[in-house]
Amino acid sequence: MTRLARIIRHVPDARASADFYARAFGLTEKLALGEDYIAMETGETVLGFARQGFFERETGLHLPSSHGESAQEIAFEVPDVAAAHARAMREGCAEVLAPVDKPWGQTLSYVRDLDGALVQLGSPIGALAAPLYLDDLAPGQVFRAGPVTVTAPEIMDYAARYDPQPFHTDPVAAAEHPLFRGLAASGWHTAALTMRMVVRAIGHLAGGIVGAGGELQWPRPVRPGDELRVEIEMLEVTPSRSRPDRGSAVVRITTLNQAGEAVQVFTPRMVVPRRPS
């Protein structure tokens, strides 16, 4: 089978571009031919930067300048798209698309590098991601997903079906409520939105996300226009003594709004299979 070995970008300054990718995307250098060609370690496929003129000198052919916006795309798979996107922006990338969850279970963002190349940052595609077993989990691991935006019509529609109380269904009545002082999402609506993001973040757990009870808190209401995201932290990972094929993981699932405030904290125990021997 033919294997894609490398992608080479022809740029004005190979060293500057390689150093930029090291800072912005966390790549490490694999090979350097002086200042003419630098290859970066990216797994199976190498990403290389060749100084303009190097190709012409070695082949006698001419390449047009690649500086400026390019229709080509470089795609990186990363465990945390939001963190990778923020790092790229800090290092001077131009934002094309902020992180967004896609219907097929992947989180994507797009930036342009200092030479104008379009760079995709994407999480593993849910159905294609390698399954996670109990053996792959450890306390301190964090998984993230989101954001999702909550709208007033969604809040009222959900509440009308599942939690028909005036402070969830009627903006006027909600404004007069002594506690909410405005339209607020049902806690069960928040839980449902959270679950969708949890599936995007750890839906590739072997056996699925199977809960065995836990503590649920809603520290503050969710309002129309809020952007929610989740952080899932592994707290405990315990193999079963009586069932060697499985174990349990205690996680803290924190749902945060755009201000970084917790709107839901759920601490369940999950049943997770062990890797088959």
pLDDT value, residue 236:
97
pLDDT score at 45: 85
Q: Pick the residue with more confidence: 253 or 35?
A: 253
pLDDT tens digit string along 159-173? 999 999 999 999 999
pLDDT, tens digit, 9 for 90 and up, residues 65-121: 555 555 567 888 887 888 889 999 999 999 988 988 776 667 888 898 988 888 888
Give the Cβ contact number of residue 251 at 10 Å. 26
pLDDT at 116: 86
In which residue are the tokens 């809040």 written? Answer: 155
User: What confidence score (pLDDT) does residue 59 get?
Assistant: 64
Question: Greater confidence, 146 or 42?
Answer: 42
Higher confidence at residue 184 or residue 39?
184
Question: Which has the minimum average pLDDT: 19-28, 46-55, 123-132, 206-215?
Answer: 123-132
Average pLDDT value for the chain: 88
Q: What pLDDT, on a 0 to 100 scale, did the predictor assign at position 71?
A: 54
Q: Each residue of 202-253: pLDDT tens digit?
A: 888 898 999 988 999 999 999 999 999 999 999 999 999 999 999 999 999 9
* pLDDT more than 70, % of the chain: 90
Which pLDDT score, from 0 to 100, does residue 61 have? 63
Predicted TM-score (pTM) of the model is 0.63
CA distance 59 to 37: 14
Q: What is the pLDDT of residue 169?
A: 96
Average pLDDT of span 119-142: 81
Q: Which pLDDT value is given to residue 94?
A: 93
The pLDDT score that the predictor gives to residue 184 is: 97
